[in-house]
Amino acid sequence: MERVNALIALEDGRTFPCTSFTGTGETSGEVVFNTSMSGYQEILTDPSYRGQMVTMTYPLIGNYGVNPEDAESDRIQVSAFLMKEYQEFPSNFRATESLAEYLKKQGVLGVENFDTRALTRHIRKTGAMRAFISTTDLNPASLIEKARAIPSMTGQDLVREVTTSSPYFWENGKPVWLENGELEAGSDIWKSKETKYSVVAFDFGIKYNILRSLEAEGCEVLVVPATFSLDKIRSYQPDGIFLSNGPGDPEPLTYAIESAKALIGQYPIFGICLGNQILGLALGGRTFKLKFGHRGGNQPVKNLITGKVEITAQNHGFAVDTDSMIGKNIELTHINLNDNTFEGFQHKEYPLFAVQYHPEAAPGPHDARYLFNNFIKMMEKWSAV
């Protein structure tokens, strides 16, 4: 496998000489780090990473290859993949190709052979920032200027880049597309209304394992674009609404915030990650950008209702401001034990709850899987009223 010299340049002037194992190219994005020890294919395909280049803190990546079953969306979402050492000869019975082949097919740069610990410590100290990688321009001053010219993550609407273009049903672990891409109004769209809970899931960058988890709990799931018609949703008479994870800053997503406002109190609602932030904004709260975000499978979160500590999977760079939710008729249910940030809430009047972390994991621990069952119980209680 041919390796090519490359250079990573950060907007603050720090540079890291490295090596590309996916050939020549250039790319840019916000550079962040993930502390997971495995699950790199799920990380690569998580739409919440849109516009970002991900650094893995675990030193050896690629040792088990990739396979079709572990993808969390229909394509790689990261703009670049950074690691200490790439293992070009995978050894796993499930592997169908190497990580390098996977990245090259989709035109995504993979780089290695640099001090990922130094980069991670730098981000922890100074914050996530814009970066540029090139194999063709190795001039530090030139790349630093290119990094500074990249749009900031704050204020960007990245959801429009990852949301589905048309609605689809999730059946037997995969998307089932409609013949003409359209779905007419009316509650007769559901095939299993009498035996399963019908859920409309807003796709702000939804992970496949969320849909797998909903289906496993007995839900019939219709996934709709981020800007889907509320009139059509009401005509479907769903048992519940799900607001998904997704990339970037929640504040520019005025269409999603307005949709959430309109649906609160009308249906049981469950939100994850970006969905949590959208609900916080819809209720009158505020959000802010974290210094370097929470990304990995080992984030400790305390459940304030049970008193238990859950080890959670997380991937977000923004959070709900806790003080801004005071007086909003909500109960704080979860906090992050590393920095005491807002990790979950439930409404005191309406059937609504949300968490900032990922109970579906992929990759990560399963401590919080019970939340999907809580959603079922909430829909069951609401339908009985």
* The 3-state secondary structure of the chain, one letter per residue: CCCEEEEEEECCCCEEEEEECCCCCEEEEEEEEECCCCCHHHHHCCHHHCCEEEEECCCEECCCCECHHHCCCCCCCCCEEECCEECCCCCCCCCCECHHHHHHHCCCEEEECCCHHHHHHHHHHHCCEEEEEECCCCCHHHHHHHHHCCCCCCCCCCHHHHCCCCCEEEECCEEEECCCCCCCCCHHHCCCCCCCEEEEEECCCCCHHHHHHHHHCCEEEEEECCCCCHHHHHHHCCCEEEECCCCCCCCCCHHHHHHHHHHECCECEEEECHHHHHHHHHCCCCEEEEEEEEEEEEEEEEECCCCCEEEEEEEEEEEECCHHHCCCCEEEEEEECCCCCEEEEEECCCCEEEECCECCCCCCCCCCCHHHHHHHHHHHHHHHC
Residue of 18, 219, 251, 273 marked catalytic: 273
Q: Specify if 303 maps to a domain.
A: yes
Residue 97: pLDDT above 80?
Answer: yes
265: left (phi over 0), alpha (psi -120 to 50) or beta: left
- 235-267 pLDDT, tens digit each: 999 999 999 999 999 999 999 999 999 999 999
Residue 384: pLDDT above 90?
Answer: no
- Of residues 223, 234, 237, the one with CA closest to residue 262: 234
Tracing tokens 């590309």 back to the chain, one arrives at 20
CA angle 346, 349, 350 (to 5 degrees): 70
Token readout for 279 is 């609900």
What per-residue confidence (pLDDT) applies to 183? 85
What per-residue confidence (pLDDT) applies to 385? 64
Provide the percentage of residues in the chain whose pLDDT is more than 90. Answer: 95
Contact predicate 256/287, CB 8 Å: no
Question: Among this protein's residues, is 273 annotated catalytic?
Answer: yes
- 98-110 pLDDT, tens digit each: 999 999 999 999 9
Q: Specify if 100 maps to a domain.
A: yes
Token readout for 196 is 């399963």
Q: Specify if 154 maps to a domain.
A: no
| Domain identity same for 127 and 163 | no
Q: Specify if 172 maps to a domain.
A: yes
Q: How many domains does the chain have?
A: 2
- Of residues 31, 44, 21, 42, the one with CA closest to residue 104: 21
| Domain identity same for 55 and 187 | no
Tracing tokens 């609605």 back to the chain, one arrives at 167
| Domain identity same for 33 and 122 | yes
Q: Specify if 139 maps to a domain.
A: yes
Residue 181: pLDDT above 80?
Answer: no
Residue of 11, 30, 112, 360 marked catalytic: 360
| Domain identity same for 201 and 136 | no
What's this model's pTM, rounded to 2 decimal places?
0.96
Residue of 122, 294, 347, 358 marked catalytic: 358
| Domain identity same for 84 and 55 | yes
- Calculate the average pLDDT of the chain: 96
Print the domain residue range for 346: 159-384
| Domain identity same for 122 and 188 | no
Question: Among this protein's residues, is 360 annotated catalytic?
Answer: yes
